[in-house]
Structure 1
């Protein structure tokens, strides 16, 4: 089991495929297993590196404050452990926040940047609806089982049309999530890190080729946040996935993988 130690904890990681390195960073409360629809396709062309953020999966779960900057340090440690000097970096949701901070702090270690369903935070962040925020805040104190809570949050993670027509695909996602459910304290600490995230006054300094992907039915990180990123990051490409919610890596996985590969191939 590949593990590296950083800031006093173990970080679990995996490497798939060969070629130029592509680092994938997952979002709030999810382990690297939630990349299961992306890794098989992307690793046919790239050396794909995935890892469990602190607080989830097989990585350490300290009950001490987390921050996006701290998790960017974790990200650096994973690249060091694999022996990779620089990589294409693809983060979604909280992982996109980590990717932004990593690119700002370690620009020489980033070949290109892909930011999915994420935000720069700060004063320009467009908040989700009050009902969405309340549900996300209540997760830590809920007495529901991990599976029950996963289904309860489905309406804010997927578009209504997808829920009605592709319930089996959502069930597959949930099965992956509940294999290693996040502990309540770790969920709160990751959520607090997300709330504290703010690159809004810095991202205009990012000089790396950047692709932004956002579903226009995203309820958790509203679509307008993707628009802001595309406006602020110089020469960023912007892919709108029509009709998709937050988890576009399930709702439109073929399109997402295709566009990611097209973008990466242009950087060669």
Structure 2
């Protein structure tokens, strides 16, 4: 199986032979167009399955390819109408702390910048000088860091269900999210984890749809339980490390300018019913990337790439094609011209409300500040709860369970 040693850039068949960090990856499809897929927190490379299929026409990894596939066939290859005249090769990998990649035990080994360096090392290992970089959730944060660090190696950037990190990672404060958080901390079995994952990943409408005689929730629940039982729950080291990376993530003004200086197009794709990453923060990030970015608001939840596969795949292919024909940013963006912070706030607080015909008062600014304060308070409570849980564990001294990849 293919591994990339991010320390020495050497491949090996075993990710646990030494203390070096090794990243497990797989490639799919063939062609001159290269796409790097970066998955989010607690996800593995195969979480990109619907996009791998949509971009390459196959879910069979290249190392398992017998070599008999006809990649000139439209069924086996996407992108035949690309300007480059070739197909698409995709690479998806497990981030450190998850799946078959190494699991560092120190939180300090997990930041989006460090994980972006892992991805850059993987590009070097593959011999890809440039690639389209697509990330989901935490993976989109990592993709932002990568694009800021090596903008000359990015052909385009797709950010799915992304936020700016830190307190922006916290969901809206309502009964649903409190219920999800409570159930998540109690989920110690594949069955409990699968149940909470469904409510976290998908919109309620999607789960309640019937597929034949069964609700989609029932079908997906069985799939999730099987998947989690097969791969195992994510280790505490990996989960806490990746959460730490999200919490510490921040895109500075200098990094945003570095991305914009790269000249490549950006697509920010978000499910409007995402209970994890609020669409408000995704839109704000897109506006910071104006005029390079386009914002796509799609009906769906956090895993909109699975819930609305055809729409997302088409958006990704549109991004690739627009990049290849060198579309100008002004023709790509669908965002209004960026304004100053003061103008934006003044417009928000004082302009008429078109939808209601009423007048939006200064209360909206106060409510926004109150919302930020409540999110901060909620995050503080979670930290206190986590500290208390660890303290309780240390006092009762439970037996250690071996970590297993998810």
Of 161-170 and 55-64, deviating more is 161-170
Query: Does the C-alpha gap of structure 1 residues 173 and 25 become closer, same or farther in structure 2, counting only changes over 3 Å?
Result: farther
Q: How many residues align?
A: 265
Partner residue of 1:60? Answer: 102
- Offset at residue 134 of structure 1 (A): 8.0
Of 143-152 and 37-46, deviating more is 143-152
Query: Does the C-alpha gap of structure 1 residues 143 and 118 become closer, same or farther in structure 2, counting only changes over 3 Å?
Result: closer
Q: Secondary structure of 1:182's match?
A: coil
1:34 aligns with 2:86: no
Partner residue of 1:206? Answer: 259
CA contact (8 A) 1:119 1:229 kept: yes
CA contact (8 A) 1:121 1:198 kept: yes
Bigger share in strand: 1
Distance in 1, matches of 2:228 and 2:153, equals 30
Q: Secondary structure of 1:38's match?
A: helix
Partner residue of 1:78? Answer: 122
**Match for 1:267 among 319, 323, 341?**
323
Partner residue of 1:155? Answer: 199
- Offset at residue 41 of structure 1 (A): 1.5
The equivalences for 1:23-172 within 5 A come to: 23-43=36-56, 44-45=77-78, 46-65=88-107, 66-121=110-165, 125=168, 127-130=170-173, 132=177, 135-136=180-181, 139=184, 142=186, 144-165=188-209, 166-167=216-217, 168-169=219-220, 171-172=222-223
Q: Secondary structure of 2:37's match?
A: strand
- Offset at residue 170 of structure 1 (A): 5.6
- Offset at residue 147 of structure 1 (A): 3.5
Distance in 2, matches of 1:150 and 1:200, equals 36
Distance in 1, matches of 2:105 and 2:182, equals 18
Deviations 1:105-127 (A, max 9, x none): 1111111100000112357x373
- Offset at residue 3 of structure 1 (A): 0.5
**What TM-score does the superposition give when structure 1 sets the normalisation length?**
0.91
Partner residue of 1:18? Answer: 30
Q: Secondary structure of 2:50's match?
A: coil
Query: Does the C-alpha gap of structure 1 residues 21 and 129 become closer, same or farther in structure 2, counting only changes over 3 Å?
Result: same
Distance in 2, matches of 1:75 and 1:94, equals 13
Distance in 2, matches of 1:177 and 1:200, equals 36
User: Mind listing any 5+ residue stretches in structure 2 that lack a counterpart?
Assistant: 8-19, 57-76, 79-87, 210-215, 325-406
Query: Does the C-alpha gap of structure 1 residues 234 and 143 become closer, same or farther in structure 2, counting only changes over 3 Å?
Result: closer
Distance in 2, matches of 1:137 and 1:192, equals 19
- Offset at residue 67 of structure 1 (A): 0.7
Distance in 2, matches of 1:221 and 1:185, equals 23
Of 109-118 and 36-45, deviating more is 36-45
1:179 aligns with 2:191: no
| RMSD value, Cα | 2.1
Distance in 2, matches of 1:107 and 1:200, equals 15
Query: Does the C-alpha gap of structure 1 residues 246 and 54 become closer, same or farther in structure 2, counting only changes over 3 Å?
Result: same
User: Mind listing any 5+ residue stretches in structure 1 that lack a counterpart?
Assistant: none
Distance in 2, matches of 1:206 and 1:80, equals 20
1:232 aligns with 2:232: no
**What TM-score does the superposition give when structure 2 sets the normalisation length?**
0.61
Structure with bigger gyration radius: 2
1:188 aligns with 2:240: yes
